[in-house]
Structure 1
Amino acid sequence: MTRQIYRNEVWHVLADPVSGHFHRINATAYAFVGRCDGRHSVDEISEALLAGDPDSALTQDEIVRLLVQLNQHGLIQCELTPDVESIFHREALVERQQRRLAINPLAFRVRLGDPTAILARFDPWLRTLFARPILALCVVLILTGALTAAMNLPELSLQVRTRMGTPRFLLMAWLLYPFIKAIHEFAHALAIRRFGGEVHQMGVSLLVLMPAPFVDASAASAFRYAFQRLVVSGAGIMVEMVIAALAVILWALVEAGIVRDAALVVAFVCGVSTIFFNGNPLLRFDGYHVLCDALDLPNLASRSVAWWRYVILNRRLGLTEHASPEPGRGERFWLYTYAPASMAYRLVLSIAIVAWIGSWSTPLGLLAGAGLAYAMVFRPVLRFWRRLLSMPLSMPMRRRALRGAGALSLAVLSLFWVVPLPFATVGRGVVWVPEQAQLRTGTDGFIAHLDARHGEQVEAGQVVAHLSDSRLEAEAIKLRSQLEALDVDLYNAMLRDPVKARNVEEEMVRIRSELGRIGELQGMLVLRAGVSGRLVMPRQDDMDGAFVPRGTLLGHILTGEAAVVRIAVEQGDAALVRGETRAVSVRLAEMPGESLPGRLLRAVPAATEKLPSVALGEHAGGDIAVDPTDKDHQRAQAPVFIFDIGVSDSILERAGGRAWVRFDHGWMPLGMQWGRHLKQLFLRQFDPGS
């Protein structure tokens, strides 16, 4: 028995050393339970409570519910003959639950033994390990690692995007994660022993097909002070953050090789584990226990679920006999918000995990998807209806409850499958310049002279820049010399050897053709404006004498016409955009608060892997995944379709800027929208070639 204080309220924790379970009761319930010594009857205890403090004493209904709960958890001993069948039923239920966990393909546990002998060797150093100087050292290391990561963020993020998805790095993560997790779990175990607790169980679990050691840290629940429980919960997070910081520092110091690759993997694994799993309070891992202990919110997850069950059964279905969870001071907000937020996060995270598994193995992805659908949708619904049908209710109340549950179910189904909601596709594009207004080099060359300045008004056909290429001039001189020599040979051959004359004529035709090609290239060395307008060619001072390869965009001409946004749309949305778009709206980066009407000008009929601009790829902050092997970062990993959108109320003043385009498809129920997105996700992840 341990006395604990939460939000200035006294609670008592009953520890069952055999099962390892802990039961929390408040002071009012303990006033009754503490008197159950086997010498007094329930009626005598109730009378004594009423005589001592009638305002806070338990009512008869509350006493009955308390006794039922104590009996359900095997916490009552009395002179009555024990219900052997009920005892065996409880044990069978526990065994079934453990068996179900053991065969879960995404997360099962295997117990390996008692780690007490190993942990006891660290007892002499426990006070030193959990002292303030060590905490300060850890904070300094974490801040140093964060600063190192910030200073190398572009290279670090590029390495993660381009390399962490490769088989080699995934194998390294699979091999290194168990060691990281073992250190994490032993930090919990050592923290428990630091405050006098015991750890008697360790093992290995399989989390998303990855082995992960674990220890039973439930002994921390019996600690009297919240600070002790907080240290135990946060020890694993702190250790992983220190490991991540050391890995980032090592990655920044060493040269390319296996050590640097391993450091990158360790930093990434620890970071992802802390942010999305262990350190996230929406999952029942370390971050959740830190939140509960820091804010004095014990058992927040289960109590939030119980609160929502009470709200639905009592306030929506009219079952007034259902007991209220009785939230403490300041707890109502957390009870209302935690369960929905946790469920939404778990759903999004589970879908992402299933999609990742499916991208590697279709059968495993299908199996994981079926398990997700059962666990997140079908099982909660079945439990709700089974609980509702098994309640001991009077016939009028049962009818009212069933009518209310049916109406609630129909309302939810209507919201998802009947009530139409706005349906749209949103993509990111760039402000585009027409081809004739772009100033691109037609051949390789050096910029010899700029004939127009940035911001000047130019006319169509006006020379903007001259390029030079000495190789072309030398080649032209060489070919002219050869042509003159062949002209002499032709004159002599016509008098003596007609066959040779024909060969010479053919060679002269070839050389004249080559001279014509070189002449065309020399003509391309003169860059002319294709349309009239204002010249946009910044940084001209850096251009003189610079070498520019063929196809380089040196600038463009602003004609004063309406702006055009070019957008790349993924395959799954292309048909929807092309065939079911009712309206188009555009938001330009320079005017994010203003929605401009647009219209679909043209659509490229064939898919392409080349993006119109680097800005659309994830390397430059876009949404489209690019091929990590492409040095130009313009080749998409999956084919895309290109669309041009005319912006009606905007004059083209700056090209290359970002824009957000919304294709309005009308109205569609939310369930149908989600079904469409899940179908596209399924096709993209499980059948990438489709």
Structure 2
Amino acid sequence: MLPGSVPSESWHRAADQRLTLRPDVRVRRQFFRGELWYVLEDPLTNQFFRLPARAWAFVARLRPDLTVQQAWEACVRAQPDTAPGQEETIQLLARLHQANLLQSDQPPDSARLFERQRQRERRQWQARLLGIMFARIPLWDPDRFLQRVLPLMRWFLGPAGWCLWVATVGWAVKVAVDHAPELMQQTDRILAPDNWLLLYVGFALLKLLHELGHALVCRHLGGEVHTLGIMFLIFTPVPYVDVTSAWGFRERAHRIWVGLAGMWVELFVAALMTFVWAGTAPGTVHSLAFNMMFVASVSTILFNANPLMRFDGYFVLSDLLDIPNLYSRANQMLGYVVERFAFGCTTAVSPARSRREAVWLLLYAVCGHVYRVVVFAGILLFVGKRFLLLGVLMAVACLIGWVVAPLVRAVAYLAASPRLERCRLRAWTVSGAALAGVFLVLGGVPLPHHFRAEGVLRSDRYTLLAAPTEGRLVEILAPPGRNVQAGDPLLRLENPELEWERQLARAQWEETVARERRALHDATADLRPLAARRAALEKRIREIEAEQALQLVRAPHAGRWVAPELDQAVGRWIPRGTTLGLVLSEENFLFEAAVTQREAAWLFAQPLRAAEVRFRGQAGTPLNVTAQRVVPAEHRQLPSPALGWRGGGKIPVALDDPSGRRAAEPFFLVRAELAQDPAVTLMHGRSGQIRYTLPPEPLLRQWGRRLHQLLQREYGW
């Protein structure tokens, strides 16, 4: 049976119309996954419309001297197995008409044209309001500027430019690795208030060059760029350009090249800024260069190269997978799965053209939605922490755009969608049951509840040995790693100045004693001051000798002598207070954990069912906690730098603390005794996590409590 033999109730409305494409519409052939498609470009709006070959076979036959009926019949005769049916043809004409790509033999209805344009503008403004954090304002047509600049830049966009790019970026990576400590130190101050202005200036300059990179490559490959403007990225003005004309390129490699051009330029500029940063002294130029390096790296990895955000990486992935309109088609695929398998709508049509494409679309839809929720939630918290009113407005806008509007559309869809005509009752039933099931599971089913805290293993008796006096380390008397007893000599320092001072004081004492003897016979009035001088010198000699005795460092108690890097310090001058090592007992250990304030309530208010500790490197073997004690006071100093950000831990630390031990927020200290297990090696300083098991609780209650704690901590609510 021919496709055309299935009649449409609305066919009579379009059959006698004489329609054709507007003469200024441009048509290009493109191949996606080996299939031929036709891309229609509207030069007035710079919009694109993609048609499969079977649909183009009908559209190409539209002429002013033929009616729609005649053109369709000709298409059916020419391609009886693939020609679109009447209903599909009507939908195709409606979409072309809505896009203002058709013209008719009837006098143009200007009112309708302007009305459709107004509707399109209203939809654009609605999208801008819903995307309030990414609003765009066009300002300038850069096409002429690009035409003048392009002859000077063509060499840079060719093989010579690529060779230069690889060499420059490669050398910059080496420079960055060589200066890694300085880089890490300056990164800690990237968000300092006195750096905000330079950070934004570097960000804006980098983004301008990024967008010009897109524009130059697009113009170089034959595209047109007519819009340069300002995009408010989370209310921060940054430049943008419109290179949608690249969608019409036949070659997939050209479209990918346009998508990569911004990151390509950005990384090249970052490489140049690396050389500037490494070659300048601290100052404005030095800080600006570092900010541009940092922004280029972070923005490229987290945003531009990330295909889950609709930036450069998204368009590159779309071309690599040969799936145009990846975002919209992924959402359509998600809708198809719900309609077909949940609602039982047998007439639902999959937007995927193969099983592999269906998997890609579903995977992208799920990952994209989850990632956007996480990113926007983080943005809302970041903005709200600094500008509460603005954060509330953004939260309201997101609530309307992500919760209220989708719910209204879902209800309207369930109530009136013609696709659900034969399965509407099941759709309502399944939707209601799913919604009720979600609320039941989240609000009524107690689920496992626990929390974790970072900690470090400590010997119950250990002493950190610091140099009691200054001197040169001349001898290690007890090799590190051996067991020692109280009073055993560990190492010896030597300070020649102390011996000189002792000899000088001794000589002065002998002189004073001799003068005191003579005064007994010649000048008795001098006896009192000489006696005072002699006593002062004797005290000084005792002090020097006591300090000399400290040069022999002894074990304060029995235990293992631990000093892993001490052998490298032999022959060096050791200042007073320098850490030399530690002596620790290996009989009993305690696990010291830092519990944040928001989790500390569980320690005092809730019965803890169980607790266990897992150490890094042996996480598969937990140790049960046999007893614990909560120190009833707030702490700021972490038990070990390994628990903080700087030491690779998860606890935020103060940026102005070079030791990495001062926590950004107060915490409570828990000391736990552990059960013994021969499979787990207990070592002083070993880090891990303590996991507390709490009474089961529904997820909604858990999430509500965490939200309340978050608002209370950040905003005082």
Normalising by the smaller structure, the TM-score range is 0.7 to 0.9
Sort the Cα spacing of 1:22 and 1:605 in 2 relative to 1 into closer, same or farther, 3 A. same
Q: Once structures 1 and 2 are overlaid, which stretch shifts more, 520-529 or 547-556?
A: 520-529
Sort the Cα spacing of 1:652 and 1:516 in 2 relative to 1 into closer, same or farther, 3 A. farther
Sort the Cα spacing of 1:329 and 1:138 in 2 relative to 1 into closer, same or farther, 3 A. farther
Q: Could you tell me how far 1:407 is from its partner in structure 2?
A: 1.6
Match of residue 614, structure 2, among 567, 573, 587: 587
Match of residue 118, structure 1, among 139, 145, 150: 145
RMSD value, Cα: 4.1
State the distance in 2 between where 1:347 and 1:515 align. 73
Partner of 1:348: 374
Q: Could you tell me how far 1:656 is from its partner in structure 2?
A: 1.6
State the distance in 1 between where 2:479 and 2:486 align. 15
State the distance in 1 between where 2:588 and 2:406 align. 54
Match of residue 626, structure 1, among 648, 653, 672: 653
Partner of 1:609: 636
State the distance in 1 between where 2:475 and 2:44 align. 89
Query: What do the CA deviations read for 1:600-620 (whole angstroms, capped 9, x no partner)?
Result: 522221112212212122122
Match of residue 166, structure 2, among 99, 124, 139: 139
Alignment of 1:496-575 (within 5 A): 532-541=558-567, 554-575=580-601
Q: Could you tell me how far 1:566 is from its partner in structure 2?
A: 1.8
Match of residue 218, structure 1, among 230, 244, 254: 244
Specify the code of the residue in structure 2 equivalent to 1:333. V
Sort the Cα spacing of 1:34 and 1:589 in 2 relative to 1 into closer, same or farther, 3 A. same
Residues 1:456 and 2:485 aligned together: no
Match of residue 659, structure 1, among 667, 688, 695: 688
State the distance in 1 between where 2:32 and 2:572 align. 72
Residues 1:28 and 2:54 aligned together: yes
Q: Could you tell me how far 1:534 is from its partner in structure 2?
A: 3.6
Partner of 2:8: none
Query: What do the CA deviations read for 1:183-213 (whole angstroms, capped 9, x no partner)?
Result: 2222222222222222222211211232111
State the distance in 2 between where 1:540 and 1:14 align. 74
Q: Once structures 1 and 2 are overlaid, which stretch shifts more, 456-465 or 146-155?
A: 456-465
Alignment of 1:171-570 (within 5 A): 171-328=197-354, 330-392=356-418, 397-434=423-460, 436-441=461-466, 443-444=468-469, 446=471, 452-459=478-485, 532-541=558-567, 554-570=580-596
State the distance in 1 between where 2:266 and 2:382 align. 24
CA contact (8 A) 1:562 1:648 kept: no
CA contact (8 A) 1:442 1:521 kept: no
* SS of residue matched to 2:657: coil
Partner of 2:7: none
CA contact (8 A) 2:454 2:689 kept: yes
Specify the code of the residue in structure 2 equivalent to 1:98. Q
* SS of residue matched to 1:213: strand
Sort the Cα spacing of 1:470 and 1:218 in 2 relative to 1 into closer, same or farther, 3 A. same
Partner of 1:502: none
Sort the Cα spacing of 1:661 and 1:13 in 2 relative to 1 into closer, same or farther, 3 A. same
Q: Once structures 1 and 2 are overlaid, which stretch shifts more, 440-449 or 22-31?
A: 440-449
| TM-score, scaled relative to structure 1 | 0.85
* SS of residue matched to 2:436: helix
Q: Could you tell me how far 1:301 is from its partner in structure 2?
A: 0.9
Sort the Cα spacing of 1:278 and 1:34 in 2 relative to 1 into closer, same or farther, 3 A. same
Residues 1:682 and 2:708 aligned together: no
CA contact (8 A) 1:559 1:652 kept: no
Match of residue 155, structure 2, among 112, 116, 128: 128
Q: Could you tell me how far 1:71 is from its partner in structure 2?
A: 3.6
Sort the Cα spacing of 1:394 and 1:617 in 2 relative to 1 into closer, same or farther, 3 A. closer
State the distance in 1 between where 2:268 and 2:707 align. 38
State the distance in 2 between where 1:86 and 1:306 align. 29
Q: Once structures 1 and 2 are overlaid, which stretch shifts more, 94-103 or 212-221?
A: 94-103
| TM-score, scaled relative to structure 2 | 0.82
Sort the Cα spacing of 1:147 and 1:673 in 2 relative to 1 into closer, same or farther, 3 A. farther
Sort the Cα spacing of 1:78 and 1:544 in 2 relative to 1 into closer, same or farther, 3 A. closer
State the distance in 2 between where 1:526 and 1:75 align. 93
Query: What do the CA deviations read for 1:11-58 (whole angstroms, capped 9, x no partner)?
Result: 011112222211111111112222222444444444444433333232
Q: Once structures 1 and 2 are overlaid, which stretch shifts more, 260-269 or 419-428?
A: 419-428
Sort the Cα spacing of 1:449 and 1:224 in 2 relative to 1 into closer, same or farther, 3 A. closer
Partner of 2:99: 73
Q: Could you tell me how far 1:263 is from its partner in structure 2?
A: 0.5
Residues 1:52 and 2:78 aligned together: yes
Q: What percent identity do the matched residue pairs reach?
A: 34
Q: Could you tell me how far 1:282 is from its partner in structure 2?
A: 1.1
Q: Once structures 1 and 2 are overlaid, which stretch shifts more, 391-400 or 133-142?
A: 391-400
State the distance in 2 between where 1:609 and 1:121 align. 61
Q: How many residues align?
A: 673
Query: What do the CA deviations read for 1:75-115 (whole angstroms, capped 9, x no partner)?
Result: 44446798888756543432223334566652322221322
Specify the code of the residue in structure 2 equivalent to 1:150. V
Q: Could you tell me how far 1:8 is from its partner in structure 2?
A: 0.8
State the distance in 2 between where 1:450 and 1:393 align. 85
CA contact (8 A) 1:438 1:553 kept: no
State the distance in 2 between where 1:286 and 1:371 align. 25
Specify the code of the residue in structure 1 equivalent to 2:82. S
Partner of 1:14: 40
* SS of residue matched to 1:424: strand
CA contact (8 A) 2:593 2:670 kept: yes
Q: Once structures 1 and 2 are overlaid, which stretch shifts more, 67-76 or 344-353?
A: 67-76
State the distance in 2 between where 1:513 and 1:578 align. 55
Specify the code of the residue in structure 2 equivalent to 1:437. Y
Q: Could you tell me how far 1:470 is from its partner in structure 2?
A: 10
* SS of residue matched to 1:595: strand
* SS of residue matched to 2:620: coil
Query: What do the CA deviations read for 1:197-236 (whole angstroms, capped 9, x no partner)?
Result: 2222221121123211122211111122212212211111
Sort the Cα spacing of 1:221 and 1:329 in 2 relative to 1 into closer, same or farther, 3 A. farther
